[in-house]
């Protein structure tokens, strides 16, 4: 179903704004007619939100086969027809940016526009009217800065970590009075920058943001047979992600964590009669992650009450953070990555922090922890943002050449490893203490 955060953005018909206030200066109805396009309700909502002078940032979670990449490229070219405009179309990587580059070439050819520069290597097109259409990738964002843009489009935004790319590198380039940014993608879980940007559209503190979510129902070309075949070919999680634009789950997730039932305010939790322990994953260039867990023997539930995660800090700086939590919670056991023996020695020798080597069998540990998580036996404090992100974003490596299943190494790995060390080792050794 179609969801639009702002009530003044219509989905049933393209809205008319006066020429001076609207973002797309040329008549979009005529342009779409020339292309033979009858926009569906998702596309109509997207165009209306972009054209509306009230909204500078538009974030759209749109399901598969809705023509989201095509329609944003159409909008990009429409903007480029105004002389001396600069458009940037960002993709997760260089390969995906080729799709937009090819689309722009096709549109230019269709309308027989005069091109003065077509650089396939750098993916830059300059029109005779002085406008420039540039393709960029998130992993090479530095090559796109140093100029002002009228419109920045982030295509397949959820596939890359684009928060810093936008906030640090590209936000300052939107320095024209009416410049805009559009973020469009199918979702990839709820704890990531794309989901955060989408939520801004529903937040009155971000009045110049608009959010859209569209499922396959908005595409009239879908038949019931198409959907039946898709459900047969996909897992439930993959179908929800790709066809329902569902933020709650995605294909390849390791943990089946219920955010609705298992996130709570644990600030007043009485842990005096519980066992309190921690898992510690030691990073060097990667972050060091610590999670603190209390186990209630009567309820047979685990309560994750605190966390710590930071990168590129000294052993002493990590030790100070850990000592504070030992004193605050009375931590009984700290299960540490057994590969970090130097850190373990330093903690004991210099900071009086005692640790226990964790059980590290990855698949056994994940399987054991999944039993806890899947049965809603792990409750996480709502303030533990790194852990909540980890249980959402930790995923299996999709590489088909792997001899056996293993988790993908990403930013969710560090706290997930700490969580696995803690739960797996405690459950399998607690009775021996």
Long-range contacts of 305-308 (CB under 8 A, 24+ apart): 305/266, 305/269, 305/271, 305/329, 305/381, 306/381, 306/384, 307/384, 307/386, 307/387, 307/415
DSSP string, 83-148: TT-EEEEEESSHHHHHHHHHHHHHHHHHTT--EEEEETTTTEEEETTS-EEEEEEGGGGGGG-SS-
The first and second tokens of residue 369, run together, are 């922890």
Contacts with 256 (C-beta within 8 Å, 6 or more apart), sequence order? 370, 373, 374
Here the tokens at position 74 are: 């159409």
Q: Crossing angle, helix 236-244 and helix 224-233, to 10 degrees? A: 140
Show the tokens assigned to 91.
């993709």
Residue 56 near residue 208 (C-beta atoms within 8 A): yes
Polymer length in residues for the chain: 433
In order, the DSSP letters of 372-401 are: HHHTT-EEEETT-HHHHHHHHH-BB---TT
Greatest CA separation found in the chain?
Answer: 78
Token digits of residue 145:
């800065």
In the annotation, is 251 catalytic? no
Long-range contacts of 222-226 (CB under 8 A, 24+ apart): 222/65
Q: ∠253-258-262 over CA atoms, to 5°?
A: 135
Does an H or E element contain 293, and which?
strand 288-296
Residue 353, phi-psi category: left (phi > 0), alpha (psi -120 to 50), beta (remainder): beta
176 contacts 148 by C-beta, under 8 angstroms = yes
Calpha distance 320→167 (Å, rounded): 31
| 3-state secondary structure (DSSP) of residue 239 | helix
Which of 156, 218, 242, 307 is catalytic? The answer is: 156
Catalytic machinery residues: 156
């Amino acid at each position: 179903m179609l969801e639009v955060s702002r009530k003044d953005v219509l989905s049933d018909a393209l809205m008319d704004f006066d020429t001076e206030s609207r973002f797309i200066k040329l008549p979009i109805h005529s342009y779409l007619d020339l292309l033979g396009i009858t926009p569906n309700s998702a596309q109509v909502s997207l165009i209306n939100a972009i054209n509306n002078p009230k909204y500078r940032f538009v974030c759209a979670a749109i399901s598969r086969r809705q023509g989201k990449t095509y329609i944003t490229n159409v909008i990009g070219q429409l903007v480029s027809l105004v002389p001396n405009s600069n458009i940037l179309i960002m993709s997760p990587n260089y390969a995906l940016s080729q799709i937009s580059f090819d689309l722009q070439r096709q549109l230019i050819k269709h309308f027989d526009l005069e091109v003065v520069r077509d650089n396939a290597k750098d993916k830059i097109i300059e029109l005779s009217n002085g406008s420039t259409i540039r393709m960029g990738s998130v992993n090479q964002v530095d090559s796109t800065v140093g100029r002002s843009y009228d419109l920045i489009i982030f295509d397949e935004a959820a596939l890359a970590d684009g928060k810093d790319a936008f906030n640090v590198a590209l936000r300052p380039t939107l320095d024209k009075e009416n410049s805009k940014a559009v973020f469009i993608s199918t979702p990839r879980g709820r704890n990531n920058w794309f989901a955060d940007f989408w939520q801004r559209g529903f937040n009155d503190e971000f009045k110049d943001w608009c959010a859209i979510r569209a499922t396959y129902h908005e595409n009239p070309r879908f038949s019931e047979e198409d959907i039946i075949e898709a459900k047969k070919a996909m897992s439930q999680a993959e179908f929800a992600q790709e066809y329902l634009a569902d933020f709650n789950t995605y294909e390849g997730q390791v943990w089946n964590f219920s955010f609705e039932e298992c996130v709570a305010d644990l600030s007043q939790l009485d842990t005096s009669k519980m066992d309190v322990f921690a898992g510690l994953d030691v990073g060097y260039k990667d972050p060091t992650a610590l999670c603190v867990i209390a186990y209630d023997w009567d309820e047979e539930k685990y309560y994750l009450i605190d966390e710590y995660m930071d990168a590129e800090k000294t052993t002493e700086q990590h030790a100070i953070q850990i000592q504070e939590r030992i004193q605050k919670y009375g931590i009984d056991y700290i299960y540490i990555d057994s590969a970090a023996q130097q850190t373990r020695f330093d903690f004991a020798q210099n900071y009086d922090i005692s640790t226990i080597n964790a059980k590290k069998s990855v698949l056994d540990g994940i399987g054991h922890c999944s039993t806890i998580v899947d049965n809603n036996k792990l409750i996480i404090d709502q303030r533990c943002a790194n852990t909540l992100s980890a249980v959402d974003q930790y995923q299996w490596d999709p590489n088909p050449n792997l001899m056996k299943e293993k988790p993908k190494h990403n930013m969710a790995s560090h706290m997930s490893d700490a969580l696995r060390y803690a739960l797996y080792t405690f459950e399998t050794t607690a009775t021996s203490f």
